[in-house]
A and B are shown apart, each in its own frame.
Chain A
Amino acid sequence: MPLLSVENLHAGYETGGRRLRAVDGVSFAVEPGETVGLVGESGCGKSSLARVLMRLVEPASGRVLFDGLDVGALRGPALKAYRRQAQMVFQDPFASLNPRQSVGEILSGPLAVHGLVPRKERLTAAGDALERVGLPRAALSRYPHEFSGGQRQRLGIARALILAPRLVICDEPVSALDLSIQAQILNLLAGLKAQMSLSYLFISHDLSVVRYFADRVLVMYLGRIVETGSWQAIFASPLHPYTRALIEAVPTPGRRRHAAPLSGDLPSARDVPPGCRFHPRCPIATPICTEADPALRHVGAGQSVACHHAPESALQEGLPI
């Protein structure tokens, strides 16, 4: 049984009387011990999806099952118990820590709220959590502004892990950090995964980060998953033209040609194009793409794609575009 299973999830916001469909029919699963990478451009609904999974935003329809439990229906103590098992690392380590609380208060708060550790032992447990992420115990009495960005993100990780969750949703945990610090944090997350037998849903707009980190990759475009597959399959034979464009845009030392970027901007989620939502930017769009919305179909070897022209287009063009 998958640890987390999402079925046809919709969520959005009401703005000015119009509905913004941030998450528009998303289905996927995270197996125990698995790291699932979720990639897509800024504004494609990645963070909204994370917030729905954490029940920070209520879903409009669809189901989120965690270990067989319907997360959307949880109330009171049951919801609190879910929060203990699923935690989140936030994108901005400068905004996600309360500036008026010391590190000791920040880390012992979750233990107090969930009644996990007796009051006298909470600071010790908080110190253990700090050491686990490579920060000294002396940091307990310090305030967040005294730390660098990478150190703060370690505090964010320590806070997410102090409840010993089974699923950690990482919402672009390294995108606000310097490149050298990014590698440190990724290695830390990888090591903690092995130590604590965690599952990750790893959200990023950076394919090189996801390639390094994920077992399976979900590619999201405008609120919908357009391609999924093992990281090997996605990087070796990307079938969706959007995935191909994303991979092409990653600068690698071996391939010094100019990337052929996607033309145009991500359309507004208030005004989703008819038919295939990618067709206005798609290099291989045909009339059918403007009419019919392609469903995610299985194309073998654990890979699925939502494109009318896959996999034929990929074969014709040679991989990648």
Chain B
Amino acid sequence: MHGSETFAARGARAAEAEDRAAAAALGAGRRPETESEPWPNVHAPDAARAATSEVQKLAPAGRRRALGVFLSNPTAVAGLLILAVVAGAALAAPILFPDDPLEMAGRPLQWPGQDPRFPLGTDALGRNVLAGLAHGARISLLVGAFATLAGLVAGILIGATAGYFGGLVDDALSKLVEIFQTVPGFILLIVLVAIAQPSVPAITLAIGAVSWPQVARLVRAQFRALKEKEFVAAARALGYGHRRIIFREILPNALPPVIVLASVTVATAILMESALSFMGLGDPNVVSWGSMIGTGRDLLRTAWYLSAAPGVAIVLTVLSLNLIGDGLNEALNPRLSGEP
């Protein structure tokens, strides 16, 4: 209806209308205002005409900045280096030690340094301890990584569903999480492994089944906070479906603390696998750090290096993952790294 009217004219008429009102109120004594601009102090160009020719490049994007913070943190880099050594050993194990590490390689119970072929000695059955450590690293990292992956997938799916939809769905899923959390994790793990066969995939899935509730709780809390944000309302107003909002809008914003938790979950998974193997519940067909400690236990007084070597390997690996987790937390948590 006012399509042809210019907005400047609109402003002028608005001012006139108000002037009439002001004049009526104040009587004849008051000089009517002759200013006709809607905002006389503002002489702004039209945004479309005053087009911004360039967008100035500001601070590096969030991910690159986080990487910078992470790499300038000495303890995080130390953790990364230790983990790189362990991962390198795991990758090189089949090349450096092509024989089955469970096979007899030499005379039993040689101390480290006794025979240059076995730098860390041999165990009671004459197996090469160093080869066992290298092959054990494969199992530890593999189980740690895939158990965490399984826990993350389950935890994110369940936590995101509960946090996003809320209501009855949230109530039901939160109860499920609580049920899992009231059962002591390691007992549940032993039961699960005892029911299934003690194979590497079964152990991995069982550890995943023990670790998902923590992830689910964290993801649920994140989603509950993030779904109230205005950009989520905007996505709904644009007609985005639930799946797109969950995975493309909210999840990327919910991930930083989950990544931090994941690094610690890998460490916990490695410890759980070691504990299972130590108790003889691990996969008997592969060598694992836990089983090496377990078999060395009987000879603790005469050949303590048999337990100490894999023990140190576990300590270093778990420590490195915790250092990485701390570094990630500092890099990804805006409150710790001073991001606005």
Interface centre among B25, B32, B35 (most CB of A within 10 A): B25
Which residues on A sit within 8 Å (CB–CB) of B38? Answer: 208, 211-212
B249 within 8 A of A: yes
Q: Within residues 236 to 286 of chain A, which ones have a CB less than 8 A from any CB in chain B?
A: 236-238, 247, 252-255
Cα–Cα, bound, A213→B240 (Å):
31
Cα–Cα, bound, A237→B18 (Å):
9
Among B56-64, B110-118, B289-297, the stretch that binds chain A is: B56-64
| B51 interface neighbour in A135, A211, A252, Cβ under 8 Å | A135
Q: Which residues of A contact B (CB under 8 A)?
A: 31, 33-35, 51, 54, 56, 79-80, 83-84, 87-88, 90-92, 95-101, 109-110, 113-114, 131-136, 138-139, 142-143, 145-147, 150-151, 154, 156, 159, 163, 179-185, 187-188, 190-192, 194, 208, 211-213, 215, 231-232, 235-238, 247, 252-255, 318-321
Among B7-15, B74-82, B88-96, B100-108, the stretch that binds chain A is: B7-15
- Asked whether, in the complex, the Cβ of B234 is within 8 Å of the Cβ of A113, the reply is no
- Asked whether, in the complex, the Cβ of B1 is within 8 Å of the Cβ of A255, the reply is no
The count of residues in chain B whose C-beta lies closer than 8 Å to any C-beta of chain A is: 59
Cα–Cα, bound, A115→B1 (Å):
33
Given A100-B253, A109-B240, 17 other A-B contacts at CB below 8 A? A95-B229, A97-B234, A99-B231, A101-B248, A135-B51, A136-B53, A147-B55, A150-B47, A151-B55, A184-B44, A184-B47, A187-B45, A188-B47, A208-B38, A236-B18, A319-B24, A319-B25
Which residues on A sit within 8 Å (CB–CB) of B13? Answer: 232
- Asked whether, in the complex, the Cβ of A87 is within 8 Å of the Cβ of B237, the reply is yes
Cα–Cα, bound, A188→B7 (Å):
11
| B62 interface neighbour in A97, A145, A180, A254, Cβ under 8 Å | A145
- Asked whether, in the complex, the Cβ of B35 is within 8 Å of the Cβ of A253, the reply is yes
- Nearest chain A CB to B230's CB is how many angstroms away? 4
Cα–Cα, bound, A99→B234 (Å):
13
Known contacts A95-B231, A147-B55, A252-B18; A114/B44 CB under 8 A: no
Known contacts A90-B233, A212-B38; A187/B17 CB under 8 A: no
Contact count A vs B, C-beta below 8 Å: 186
- Asked whether, in the complex, the Cβ of A109 is within 8 Å of the Cβ of B238, the reply is yes
- Asked whether, in the complex, the Cβ of A253 is within 8 Å of the Cβ of B33, the reply is yes
- Asked whether, in the complex, the Cβ of A255 is within 8 Å of the Cβ of B33, the reply is yes
Shortest Cβ distance from B7 into A: residue: A190
- Asked whether, in the complex, the Cβ of B17 is within 8 Å of the Cβ of A235, the reply is yes
Q: Which residues of B contact A (CB under 8 A)?
A: 1-3, 7, 10-11, 13-14, 17-22, 24-25, 32-33, 35, 38-42, 44-59, 61-62, 229-231, 233-241, 244, 248-249, 252-253
A-B pairs with beta carbons under 8 Å apart, 11 shown: A83-B238, A91-B230, A99-B62, A99-B253, A134-B51, A143-B62, A154-B47, A184-B45, A185-B47, A191-B46, A253-B33
Which residues on A sit within 8 Å (CB–CB) of B236? Answer: 56
- Asked whether, in the complex, the Cβ of A188 is within 8 Å of the Cβ of B1, the reply is no
Which residues on B sit within 8 Å (CB–CB) of A91? Answer: 230
Which residues on B sit within 8 Å (CB–CB) of A92? Answer: 230
- Asked whether, in the complex, the Cβ of A180 is within 8 Å of the Cβ of B42, the reply is yes
- Asked whether, in the complex, the Cβ of A254 is within 8 Å of the Cβ of B19, the reply is yes
Which residues on B sit within 8 Å (CB–CB) of A95? Answer: 229-231
- Asked whether, in the complex, the Cβ of B21 is within 8 Å of the Cβ of A319, the reply is yes
Shortest Cβ distance from B51 into A: residue: A134
- Asked whether, in the complex, the Cβ of B14 is within 8 Å of the Cβ of A211, the reply is yes
Which residues on A sit within 8 Å (CB–CB) of B10? Answer: 212
- Nearest chain A CB to B116's CB is how many angstroms away? 54
Shortest Cβ distance from A210 into B: residue: B14
- Nearest chain A CB to B137's CB is how many angstroms away? 35
